[in-house]
Structure 1
């Protein structure tokens, strides 16, 4: 009787990863369970990275691979927290310290790689929202840090559109992101 009402869903790897990323983004903006959001973000990021490879597109971490003696060292470092969340065979009693910054960056990497695969985030409102929110809210994209005139102009525009959200506290930044996400989910423009 249980299986009688259970749905069967056919899904592509791209769709599965995009759905996981969308849920992780919504959880992040809602300040809901950062550990689960991080795991979903890493799951999607892994799929997007592999899909980038199959399409011969640059994925985010490929930029830093050359800085490591062995590629596996990069992924061991990058995936250490995610692996902690997936495995308990060798270290069942271990503890790890988790920073929500890891979630912010894993969401950015996954969103970036999705963008590399599809070239347009319009069909993925949560990813499009996160992409714009990240550029608008992260201090490393501040106009005063940009030497290239084009980048400086882009980030000044982002500051103007967002009311300078990058200079606000994290709670305000997330509330702004959640508002953007809600507008995107309603089919409204997320940017002015």
Structure 2
């Protein structure tokens, strides 16, 4: 969450230093989006197909966040064996391929749940 506060402060005070630059770590978005999908689920609405696929991809990409022995993480890692060992670009490519295959298989059925 520190990255969100940093961006917020940068934008809030941008007029003070016009030459300042905001540093951005792309992988920080993964964590923020994962938390957002969890919170959406807590609102009582079902998660979209894309949100569910993202959660699977996230858990396989960052198994250490919940623990490798957690059932949801183990299922996600079965869908993406050794995903966490790949470079980011490969992770993204494998995630997109997975999403596209599942869209065909489930035809956008939002009831799909792997985790």
Is TM more than 0.5 here?
yes
Pairwise CA distance, 1:128: 1.6
1:174 aligns with 2:105: no
Q: Distance in 2 between matches of 1:184 and 1:85?
A: 39
TM-score (norm 1): 0.45
| Paired residues for 1:1-192 under 5 Å | 78-85=4-11, 88-121=14-47, 124-140=48-64, 141-143=66-68, 146=69, 151=70, 153-186=71-104, 187=107
Pairwise CA distance, 1:95: 1.3
Q: Secondary structure at the match of 2:16?
A: coil
Pairwise CA distance, 1:154: 3.4
Q: Distance in 2 between matches of 1:157 and 1:137?
A: 12
What is the number of residues matched between the two proteins?
Answer: 108
Per-residue deviation, residues 150-188 of structure 1 (Å, max 9, x unmatched): x2x432232222223222222221111112332455426
CA-atom RMSD, angstroms? Answer: 2.9
Q: Distance in 2 between matches of 1:86 and 1:180?
A: 39
Pairwise CA distance, 1:93: 2.0
Asked whether the 8 Å contact 2:57–2:76 carries over to 1, the reply is no
Q: Distance in 2 between matches of 1:170 and 1:182?
A: 18
CA 76–101 in structure 1, closer or farther in 2 if over 3 Å, else same? closer
Asked whether the 8 Å contact 1:108–1:131 carries over to 2, the reply is yes
Structure 1: runs of 5+ lacking an equivalent: 1-74
TM-score (norm 2): 0.69
Asked whether the 8 Å contact 2:37–2:51 carries over to 1, the reply is yes
CA 79–185 in structure 1, closer or farther in 2 if over 3 Å, else same? farther
